Structure 1
C-alpha cells in the first residue's frame, strides 16, 4: 500500500518528462498501483483530472518557446503589485488590464506572460510581458450569467465568481515564469450606495473571501467619503468615470460621454480630480473623446486606464470575451456589431502546427498580441478605436476653460 507522502511525491514526479523520472516508477505496475491508490484516498489527495489546455501548467503555443521557458529558465512566478503599477506609470509604460469571470479564464490571463524576453522601446526601457491587472467586473452579469443589466447581479453570485478567479491565479504560483496579476473587483450595484458602512462591508467581504487586491467603484465626487474610508483601512480603490454601465439608464444608454456637451466634459474632469483627492490609486475612464484625455493627463498624478478613451491613457482595459470573440450576441453575429474600441487581432495570429489545443492557444495568442500592442501604443488607434469631440464643443471649452472651480 502506498503511503500518503509517497503519493504526493509521485504526483510531483509524474509531471516530469519520462527521461527525468526515476527508473523505479517508470513501470506499468507502479502506475497501476498509483492509480488504484489515488482512487482509494481521493478524499485526502487532490487527484485532479485536467480537461482542457487552460487547466494545464503550460501551453502549446510554441513548442520551442515552451521548452526554453519551462526547462531552461525555471524561474519562479512573480506577483504584480500597486508599486509595480506606479513604477510603470512613472516610466510611461502602458498598463494592461483584462477581465476574468472564472477559474479557467483567470489561468489563461496569467499564462499570457510571453516566454520570450521583454521587448525594448526606443529609449531602452524594458516592456514586460503579460497582464498587469485581472479585473472581475460586474459585466460578468451580462457576459457570464446572461442578465440584461449589470444592476441585476447579486453580491453572493459575484463573490462566488471572485473566489474561483482567485483560485485560478493562485494555481499559477509555480516554478514557471508567470507574472501573477493584481486582482481587482467591482463593487456591484446596490452594495455600496446606501451608506459608507455598506460599502465598507462589501469591500471587506471581498477581501476576506477572495483576497482581492483592491476594488473598483463607478461614480464621481459623491463617492469621496467611501473612498477615503476604504483607503484609510488599507483597501486600494480604483475609480471609474465616463460611461459607467451601472448608471447607463440615466446616461441615455451606452453612449460616448462628454463629446457633445461642455458641461458634461467639465463634470468628468471634476470627478477625476475628486477621485484622486479621495485616494484612488488609478481611474478607469470609459467611452470619452480623446481630447478630454489630453486635459486630464495634465491635471492628474494617478494612472488613467482607458476603454474607448484613446492611446494617450496610461493603460488599457477590455472585456476578455470581447477581445477573443468568445461571446457573440444575436445582433453581433448578424450585423457584425461590436464596440468600436474592440480590436480584431485574430486575423494576425499564427498558431504553431504543434498546438494541441488550437482554440485555447488562439485566445492566448490574441491576449499576447493585445499586450504587445498596448505596451508599444499601437492599440488603440485614433479614429479606428476612438471617439472625437464635436468641433463646436471643443471650441467652447478652449475659449471658456475646461475645469469647473473645485474647493480643496
Structure 2
C-alpha cells in the first residue's frame, strides 16, 4: 500500500477510506445522542428507549449473511450504495417519529441497512486491498477511530446545548453523511461477481464450523473495545480516587495510539499462523492491562491516574494486535467468491459482542470489582489461546499459509 504522508495514494483505497471516514463521523455522533433524542425530543420513557434500541440492534444482526450473499452474486458496489441511501432516508424519517413504534422502526431500518452495508463493504475491502488487506484494513480502522473522536466531540456539543433543534440538526447531518459517503463510493470501479464453486454456496458461511468458531472467539475478544469506552469511565467515577477528567485522558491515549500505531502494528501479520500468534499476544496484553487498571481502586488520585494510564496503554497495545489479527483471519478464512456472506456472519459476531459487553463488563468489572477485572482478563486470555487452534483446524480444509 503506497502512501504519501498520512494519506493513501489516490485511487480506490483512498476513496473507500474517505467514504468510511464520512460514514463513521455521522454514525458516531448519532449513536451518542440517539437515546437523548428519544428521551428529550420524542418524549419516550427510558424503558421504551432501551427496548427500541435493543430491538433495532437484533434486527440489524439478521441482515448481514443474506445481503452479503446478494453482494457476492450481484456485485458489492451497487448493494452498498443502496444501503447508504436507505440509511439516509431512515435518518430523515426519524425527524418525524413521534411514537415508540415510529422510533423503533426508523432505528431498526437504519441498523438493518448498516449491517447490510458492512457485509457488502467487506468484498470491496478484500478486493481493493489486494495483497495488503491487513495493512489496508488497519488504515481503515485508524481513520474510523479518528472519525469517531470527531463525532463524539460533535455529540458532546449537541448534548451541552440539549435542545430539540440541536438534536434534529445532528440527525439531519448524519443523513447527509450517508449521502456524502455514497457520492464518494460512486467513483469506485465496479467489481464483477466472482463465480461460485457450487449452487449450494448460499449458506456456506453458516455451515463453515471453523469460521463460526473464529467468529465466536473473535467476538469475545472484541468486547475489549468497550473496556476503555464503557467500563473504565464508570470504574474511575465509582471505584477510584482519580479525578473524573481522567476518563477523557484515557480515551485520548487509546485513540492516539490506535490512529498512530495501527498500520505499523499490522506489518508482518500475514497468514493464519501470524494472525493466530498476534491474537494470542493480544489476550495476554488484555489481562496485564486490566490487572494494572484494577490496582487503582485503593490508590491516591495521582497514583491512580499514573497506573491507569499505563494500564490503558498496555490494553491498547493488545487491541492493536487483536485488530490486525482479526482482520487478517476475517478475510483469509473466507472464500474469495463469498466474501460478502462471510462478512455478514462476521458482523453478527461483532454485533453480539457490543450487545453483551455492557452487561458482562458491568457484572464483572463494576459489580465484582478488582477480581472481576482479572476474571474478564482471563476470558480474553482463553479466547486468545484458543484462536491458533481454530486456525489450524481451518487450515485442514483450506489454504491459509499456516
* TM-score, normalised with respect to structure 2: 0.23
Higher RCO (CA-CA < 8 Å; seq separation 6+): 2
Q: Higher strand share goes to which structure?
A: 1
